[in-house]
Amino acid sequence: MNEMTKDGQVAEQWDRTVRHGGRLHSPLATDGWAWRLIPPDHPALQGRPSALRMNDPGEALEIISEQYGQPEYYCVLGGNVASVSGWTGISFDEQYQALARGTGAFPCGGMYYCSVRGPDAVRVLGALTPRRVDLLDVGQAAFAVFTTPEGTVDTEGVVLRDGEDSFQISLGGDTRPPRWLHDALDSYPRAWAEETDLSSFNLKGPHRDQAMLRLLADDAAAQVLQLPPFHGARVGIRWGGEAWVLRTVIGIEMWGGPDVIREAWKRMVADPRTFTPCGWEVLATYRLECREFRFYLCPLDIHRGTYLLDAGLGHVVSRGKREPYVGRGALENPEYFSGQMWVGGLTALSPGAPRRAVGEMLTSEARDIPSGYVTSAAYSPRAGREICFAHLSNRVAPGSTVGFGDGSTWRAVSLPLQLPNVVPGRGY
């Protein structure tokens, strides 16, 4: 593998061989806890010693449940309870309509939050990602993929520069720091990292800005409304104190300590005309229907088996970056690593086709051989049928027909999915 030396250089010490053989292998299919939905009474949630990581600073899930009933399922991602699928007292349709016509509020307490600080903080982060975090101004953020020596995805998240020598990181994935973080800290001793008690929530939908302003001090409105994408500001909140408000491409987020996020959720559930809590079932649909960008989720759609350039993530590889980083050699030599697979979409040819399982293998209609596997699946009201993200062999061209063991047939398509513009009304 690539190992970082004491002077910050990356030593190439691994064999450049083709990563994939004649068939794709799904790491999700061999790890039952990489992705799983479990009911509230599942032994893994009650067990001692604890089998799962369950972290929710601000107690968002508990506050929502007091108003909307218990969770239908808990969503386990990489051994971590990341969120819930939904709540018994609020329907999928209500959540979907809020995202289309109002404001949907997603709790994000189950993610992993850490900080990197010190004079060498920018070098530490720069050694872990192909993105140029040194170009971020204070108050600016970026989506960053942290890479492996093979140029694949280790984990991903949003990096916010909250000070000249300080960064806050909200990581999705399987809730751990980047795997090579401690090697980078060893190379750059004038920096330190720690897990923080930050939490956040994300508002989506056409009225998200006005909804966020209901939680902020009056004098914060002008600054927040003028934020461009991936910029944030530390502003006053309505009940006293401050929090970071961060705009992304399709959402607006609040980052704060547990007390701040707890009070925010109390106010949001008390205002159902403005805020509709949303779970991960509707998030899957939202991600798959998203037109603005490929809305992948780590470690489902992107993981150590996903080479960045195969997955359409070349935009997170900063041009002109000269500093060494984990995976640089692989990303600069795509002829050795690229071209074995692509990330595409699947649309069911029949409206009655069943939901696919994450990790489920598919075969080409022309050949009875594995041709890919499902990474995310959901029902699309826009399409009126089930749709998926999938890792697909290069033998499967866009427009090809593929199938599953139950005999259902699906169309492999390029991303983003081309779906009808019209949002179905209630009770579609």
3-state secondary structure labels for all residues of the chain? CEEECCCCCEEECCCCCCCCCCCCCCHHHHCCCCEEEECCCCHHHHCCCCCCECCCCCCHHHHHHHHHCCECCEEEECCEEEEECCECCECHHHHHHHHHHCCEEEECCCCEEEEEECCCHHHHHHCCCCCCHHHCCCCEEEEEEEECCCCEEEEEEEEEEEECCEEEEEECCCCCCCCCHHHHHHHCCCCEEEECCCEEEEEECCCHHHHHHCCECHHHHHHHHCCCCCEEEEEEECCCCEEEEEECCCCEEEEECHHHHHHHHHHHHCCCCCCEECCHHHHHHHHHHCCCCCCCCCCCCCCCCCECCCCCCHHHCCCCCCCCCCCHHHHCCHHHHCCCEEEEEEEECCCCCCCCCCCCEEEECCCCCEEEEEEEEEEECCCCEEEEEEEEECCCCCCCEEECCCCCEEEEECCCCCCCCCCCCCCC
- pLDDT value of position 414: 95
Residue 214 contacts residue 225 (beta carbons within 8 Å): no
> What tens digit of pLDDT does each residue of 307-332 get?
999 999 999 999 889 999 999 999 99
pLDDT digits (tens, 9 = 90+) for 193-249: 999 999 999 999 999 999 999 999 999 999 999 999 999 999 999 999 999 999 999
Residues 6+ apart with CB under 8 A from 6: 186, 187
* Bridge partners (DSSP) listed for residue 255: 200, 244
The Cα 312–Cα 295 span in angstroms is: 11
CB 202 within 8 A of CB 170: no
pLDDT band, very low/low/confident/very high, at 101 (cuts 50, 70, 90): very high
Give 155-158's long-range contacts (Cβ < 8 A, gap of 24+).
155/179, 155/298, 155/299, 156/298, 156/302, 157/111, 157/112, 158/246, 158/248
The yes-or-no verdict on residue 299 having pLDDT over 90 is: no
| pLDDT digits 0-9 by tens, 252-289 | 999 999 999 999 999 999 999 999 999 999 999 999 99
**By the 8 A CB rule, do 247 and 264 touch?**
no
186-195 pLDDT, tens per residue?
A: 999 999 999 9
Q: Could you count the other beta carbons within 10 Å of the beta carbon of residue 338?
A: 17
Claim: this prediction has a pTM higher than 0.85 = yes
Q: What is the pLDDT of residues 65-100, one digit of tens each?
A: 999 999 999 999 888 899 999 999 999 999 999 999
Name the CATH code of domain 289-413 (choices 2.60.120.590, 3.30.1360.120, 3.90.1150.10, 3.40.50.300): 3.30.1360.120
Q: Is the pLDDT of residue 415 over 70?
A: yes
**Cβ(8)–Cβ(123) below 8 Å:** yes
Mean pLDDT of the chain: 90
Using the CB atoms, write b or e for 180-200: b if 16+ within 10 Å.
bbebbbebbeebebeebebbb
pLDDT tens-digit readout, 156-171: 999 999 999 999 999 9
Question: For residue 158, what are the β-bridge partners?
Answer: 143, 170
- Closest C-alpha to 276, from 418, 411, 93, 154: 93
Tell me which of 315 and 14 has the higher pLDDT: 315
- 380-396 residue pLDDT tens: 999 999 999 999 998 89
